[in-house]
Amino acid sequence: SRIQGTRPGPINVIGSGAKMMPLRNSLGAETQPVNILDQPGIMNQNNLKDLYKYAQENEAKVKRGILYSVLNKLFDLAPPVLIGIAIDIVVEGSESFIGNFGFEDRRQQLIIIAFITFVIWGFESIFDYVAAVTWRNIAQDLQHSMRTETFSKTLDLDLSFFENKSSGRLMAILNDDVN
């Protein structure tokens, strides 16, 4: 939802769905609508740049999240390679990839592949979980920072801004726009 106000004079908000009437400041002078988000110090249309600004506050967490996601993907891509190695064992026998490491018995090679598959599955599951938790925590930290800054900016507005606004509507805007 878009909050609009007026310039010059105190900020007036027009809601979506409201009957369009001339906006007036506290002195009764007609004013033009303006987006209050364009006011100095308030986020504007560069949403990704603003999000990046908040993400820089959590740079170490973001780097960990990227690392966990990459490791998860690497372990996620390993099963096709293991299937290829298993086919190699069945077709080549003692001359297979694992057979070249001194394990000539096919049964022994397949047990090794089964153990490696279990370990890789475990690491893939661990990194999937850790990455998901890390990204969730980063998102919560970003939302908290944005809500705190938005609330601080709201406290700095003139009292005339709040005269004709319901607190529920303002809270809905603050909550929904951050989510």
Residue 121 has pLDDT above 80, yes or no: yes
Higher pLDDT pick, 22 / 8: 22
What's the whole-number mean pLDDT along residues 20-32? 55
Which pTM does this prediction carry? 0.60
**Residues whose CB is less than 8 angstroms from the CB of residue 79 and which lie 6 or more positions away in sequence, other chains included:** 117, 120
Whether residue 124 contacts residue 78, with contact meaning beta carbons closer than 8 Å, is answered with: yes
pLDDT at 29: 59
Distance, CA of 75 to chain centre: 23
pLDDT at 105: 87
- Using one digit for the tens of pLDDT, what is the confidence trace for 53-82? 778 888 899 999 999 999 999 999 999 999
Whether residue 1 contacts residue 16, with contact meaning beta carbons closer than 8 Å, is answered with: yes
